[in-house]
Structure formats: C-alpha cells, structure tokens
Amino acid sequence: MDGKQFGDKILANIAKVIIGKEHTARLLLTAFLADGHVLLEDMPGTGKTKLAKTLAKSIHGDFSRIQFTPDLLPSDVTGINVYDRQKNEFVLRRGPVFTNILLADEINRATPRTQAGLLECMEERQVTIDGQTFVPGEPFFVIATQNPVETTGTFPLPEAQTDRFMMRLAMGLPEREEELALLERYMEREPLDDLESVLTLEELSEARQAVVKVFVHPCVREYMVSLVRATRKGEQIIMGVSPRGSLALLRSAKAYAFLDGRTYVSPDDIRALAVPVLAHRIVLGYGLNGANGAEKLVERILASTPVPTEEFKV
C-alpha cells in the first residue's frame, strides 16, 4: 500500500470541510495510524470538534460523541448494568466508548473522576464494568477536545491522563484569506453534511500493518533517546518524558514516514513530531508558562542535540 496516496486521499477529503489546517490534520491522521490518541487544545470556536467529526466521517466505522459536563458520571462514559424485569437479570447498557472513533468533547469540563473513566480503555483497549472486561472497539481512537485551563468551569487533566495521549495539537486562528474562504464555503450549506467516507476499516488495518514495517535506523533511535533523556534534566523540570513517550515518538514517526511515502524514518520526522508528542508530557516548575514553556523547552533541546547524519566514504 502506498502511504502517500493513502494519506492524500483522506487529507483531501478533510480539506472539503476544514480550511487551512493541513498540518494539524496530517498529525491527527498520523496518531490514528500509530494507534494513539489525540488531545486537541485551543480556545472555543477554532474548529476542534469540526476536525474530529470530519476525520470520523471520512472513515467507514462507528463514531460516538460525548459532551463532557460537570455532572457527567463514569458510567455515562463506559456503560452500566441495568436490571431487566422481563428477563429477570442484569443487562449491560453499553456506553459511548464502545465504538471505533470517540470524540470526547470539552473533556476538561468534567470532574477528574469522570475523566478517569477513559484511562483504562485508552491505554489497555478494554473496559471493566462490574468485574467483567469488554473490548470497546477495533480500532479504538479517542479525539479529546479541551478548552484552555484559564476558561471558566474547567478541570485540568491530571498528568496520568495527558500522558496517555500520543499528541497534543492546537488548531490556531485562521489567516485572513482562510477566514474569507471559510465564510464563502459555509455561506449556503454545511459541507460536513455532504461528506462521504473514503476509507474502510480493512484499508486502515492494512495501512497499520505497513506502518509497523517502517524501518528505523539505530542512529535515529539513539537520537530519539537523546531527546527524551534531555527532557529529564534541569532544575526547572519536575517531571520529564516517560518511556511511554519514547514509544509514542517511535510509533508516530513510523506513521509519519509512511504518510510521506517512505519505508524508513528520518531525523526530520523526529524533529517534526517532537513538540506535539513530547511537550505535553513535561511538567515544569511553578511560573514557567505551562504548555508554552514545555514547547519552548523541547525546541531548545532540538536545537542543542546533534542530528545524526549519514557518513559518506570517498
């Protein structure tokens, strides 16, 4: 399977609805192929939910959405056993997590207890209800949207949960020309209503198998480890990137190379993914500008860490 044609087909479909966010859409698709999850964080109204719905509709699979609110319970997410009087037994009422693509909208508006309801199914791809274990879906991909912590009525995600997201992405505000094109496109209709799926779950499975076979040279792996270990050093760093982050960087780099039509990972792939994959896993000391501070730290590490180059013999 040609990875570039595979990616271009889906990204072109997404571009029918979303204007000017090609790089963000590419990273979202990269995480999906790498069997990870994505946290979309930005101010309200920038198209986070729209992008998630567009990707979900581009794939012929099951889709569910949860609107997180302060009164949402864990059982509203995972499901609950209810008593059926006609059958005289308890019957499982499955929650929204039993799907292929789950949109957790405004996840930081729910309490930490409800947020924790996603931990097991995100990491272990299983749901435990009253001692019984169930598989949510295959594949299972969570796209969570989050408003900035400064927004009224939000609960910051704990580090244990943010670490389970392969990437944290931001939509950003559109350029002037992009916003004008947006108004024109949505003048008379909603493009998402007419969008059709261009990918089956079988094609996705084949693409994921091809991603696994992408080659990563030992020197590139050493470069990845050097970057990750550098995030654990320094007085301003409370917590650096864990081994889970190293594996996320490896898997996402293989998927990123596949979408570029290559069968090998290059150092440029690592550099392109370092900030979205690593920054949200870093905890800095008080007053160091939160997420922006972590991103700047990763950028400094990229600038100071030698990039592996191929040696040519004359």
Q: What is the pLDDT of residue 312?
A: 40
State pLDDT tens for residues 198-213.
988 899 999 999 999 9
State pLDDT tens for residues 11-29.
999 999 999 889 999 999 9
Nearest to 252 by CA among 29, 1, 2: 29
Q: Hey, is 222 helix, strand or coil?
A: helix
Contact 191, 54 (CB under 8 A): no
Q: pTM of the prediction?
A: 0.89
Q: What is the pLDDT of residue 314?
A: 39
Torsion region of 174: left, alpha or beta (phi above 0 gives left; psi -120 to 50 gives alpha) = beta
Rounded Cα gap, residues 207 and 199, in angstroms: 11
Q: What is the pLDDT of residue 62?
A: 87
Q: Hey, is 95 helix, strand or coil?
A: coil
Q: What is the pLDDT of residue 151?
A: 62
Q: Point out the residues of the chain with pLDDT beneath 70.
A: 1, 149-153, 287-291, 310-314
